[in-house]
Structure 1
Amino acid sequence: MIGISDVEAAAHLVAGHVVRTPTVSSPGLSALLGVPVTAKLELLQRTGSFKARGATAKLLSLTEAQRAAGVVAVSGGNHGIALAMTAAALDVKATVVMPRTAPERAVEIARDAGASVRLTDDMDGAFSLVTRLRDEGLTLVHPFDDPLVVAGQGTVGLELAEDADELTDVVVSVGGGGLIAGVAVALRARRPDVRIWGVETEGAEAMSAALAAGGPVPVKLSSIVSTLSAPSVSQLTYDHVSALVDEVLVVPDREAVRGVLDFAEHAKVWTEPAAGALLPAARRVLERVGVGARLGLVVCGGNATTADVGRWAEDFGLH
């Protein structure tokens, strides 16, 4: 497992390459939920999500031979965007493999940044293709099964601990688990009394399944939230979450989309469903811990188009 020194080293490494995103109190969300709410706005990161942190930490650590060979990543959207944009900034050739369910906008951004984008029928196929490309000589930048990437994502938690007022509970979205693993390391070191909660969407429950099984297991994916849709977590992220996180909650896709609309109306920020899931999860947290809570929400990304959200809202009857 990584430690706080690894997160601090990652923070030093990525400084100047990523944005120190705002940590702000939200009167609108506080009124909506009935308790003080602080939001860490990672959707304002230069790639639209926290993923730039881990990708930058990994790319800056590569040897010259690895840089020359080029890098490859699998992504449901945001990791691919982050790798493509970061690789372009550092003059490294990148290949991004995405399932066809990935947002069209994510594919477009990755291609516009100069990455070679390969599409597969599903996420399992994407992981299989990435493995073949790695075996052919490309350097894998895994979205969550890499200590350097997890440490990079942990810089979110380091900043939250430094910038937020007193918090009792922090809620973090979970896909493969890299973000919550890194954030948990930072918070356990800097804010040891804070409870840490994860949230997944139904049909993208890789961490919940792993916790129930006692280790990583494959899961069937059906959620619309492609950015949370990992076919399994890794042993690395499972170990961190099982040791450091209080509980992982699961919410329906419909409530995640409703959360996007609530963020827009009450917090005045445009999120994606992976972040929208924080609000129904926060309500469940409050049911457990009571009204004395002071919530921190890691708003992980905002790479959803108005057309995407409008379509989901229509499909779920959200008006």
Structure 2
Amino acid sequence: MVPSAVRAGRVTALIGISDIEAAAARIAGHVVRTPTVPSPGLSALLGVPVTTKLELLQRTGSFKARGATAKLLSLSEAERAAGVVAVSGGNHGVALAVMAAALDVKATVVMPRSAPARSVETAQAAGASVRLTDGMDTAFALVERLRDEGLTLVHPFDDPLVVAGQGTVGLELAADAGELTDVLVSIGGGGLIAGVAAALRARRPQVRIWGVETEGAQAMSQALAAGGPVPVALSSIVTTLSAPSVSRLTYDHVRALVTEVLVVSDREAVRGSLEFAEHAKVWTEPAAGCLLPAARRVVERVGDGARLGLVVCGGNATAADMRAWTDRFEVR
């Protein structure tokens, strides 16, 4: 049975496990089955067993390659010929640029000027046409105009095929991890947590799923408070989590399947990235670093019996980025 969410008297079908399995079969051979490994260092740091799903080792350095590939492989010949367009704070644009080039599809990527310079350069190097705007809201508006001009939109999160592609992270985690009680997933527009939650609810229904946002990039927590997606003011340094609004699709999944969405500060997210490097020996961006301060809260709530799974979503931050952030927040 496909799960559903009830809103305003209507029932909305959620992504089902068969959709995620189909996405997994479609993208096999194009993306990496990333490692799911226990982390002795993080287990010692948090005082409970911790398992990490290392999506920062995915092609293009984040989970975004999964959803982008799932969508690209579904396109008709006419859609491929028209070319594709995406809006991104960094990782989705890079993923679309690289995977579109591999599949011989012309790509246009729209990013805010606040996007990491490395992401812009990587997308351009892959052959994509990169358009820069003053902010994420104007980036989304430009993408809508380009879609109206005939390009095929590959939305970062408001697309069932993309969400199913991201859900393959959860499918692999469910298959490869040992016992888990709680899984933490970062939230930008919500595509990753929607897909992961759908997979885990089907395969490990007793596991609690927690979303994590940073202050100033609180699109999902504000949507939950408002009873639906709303525009949000963006101020977080974590551009890869900075969606101006979640979609109805991702909101419905989170409301139906996720235990709670936790919000941490930018400073905590940067410190979390440093702790990942020191204790887990992996280099994360703050979009993944935010999981550690949230994990501490989950352990406080759940107790010593917690067995955590962390979806380490990406590692596309440069040493210069990290130096600037640690100086800004005086993190040592």
Runs of 4+ deviating beyond 6 Å: none
What residue identity is the alignment partner of 1:311? A
In structure 1, the partner of 2:166 is 153
Aligned-partner Cα distance in 1 for 2:69–2:129: 18
* 1:252 aligns with one of 256, 261, 265: 265
Aligned-partner Cα distance in 2 for 1:291–1:153: 30
Deviation at 1:226, TM superposition (A): 0.1
Which runs of 5 or more residues in structure 2 are unaligned?
1-13
Aligned-partner Cα distance in 1 for 2:285–2:249: 26
**Is 1:176 aligned with 2:177?**
no
In structure 2, the partner of 1:316 is 329
**Is 1:49 aligned with 2:62?**
yes
* 1:113 aligns with one of 120, 123, 126: 126
**Is 1:243 aligned with 2:256?**
yes
Deviation at 1:172, TM superposition (A): 0.1
How many aligned positions are there? 319
Aligned-partner Cα distance in 2 for 1:114–1:32: 42
Instruction: Kindly provide the CA deviation profile for residues 168-224 of structure 1, in whole angstroms up to 9, marking residues without a partner as x.
Output: 000000000000000000000000000000000000000000000110000000000
* 1:278 aligns with one of 291, 298, 306: 291
Task: Give 3-state SS (helix, strand or coil) of 1:259's partner.
Answer: helix
* 2:42 aligns with one of 29, 32, 36: 29
What residue identity is the alignment partner of 2:263? V
Instruction: Kindly provide the CA deviation profile for residues 57-92 of structure 1, in whole angstroms up to 9, marking residues without a partner as x.
Output: 000000000000000000000000000000000000
In structure 1, the partner of 2:317 is 304
Deviation at 1:96, TM superposition (A): 0.1
What residue identity is the alignment partner of 1:205? Q
What residue identity is the alignment partner of 1:112? A
In structure 1, the partner of 2:221 is 208
Aligned-partner Cα distance in 2 for 1:289–1:318: 28
Aligned-partner Cα distance in 2 for 1:306–1:29: 22
In structure 2, the partner of 1:263 is 276
Aligned-partner Cα distance in 1 for 2:232–2:304: 35
Q: Percent identity?
A: 84
Q: Within 5 Å, give how 1:123-142 maps onto structure 2.
A: 123-142=136-155
Aligned-partner Cα distance in 1 for 2:117–2:16: 37
Which runs of 5 or more residues in structure 1 are unaligned?
none
Q: Within 5 Å, give how 1:287-298 maps onto structure 2.
A: 287-298=300-311
Deviation at 1:287, TM superposition (A): 1.0
Aligned-partner Cα distance in 2 for 1:2–1:280: 29
Aligned-partner Cα distance in 2 for 1:2–1:103: 31
* 1:95 aligns with one of 108, 127, 131: 108
Aligned-partner Cα distance in 1 for 2:323–2:50: 26
In structure 1, the partner of 2:10 is none
Aligned-partner Cα distance in 1 for 2:220–2:17: 22
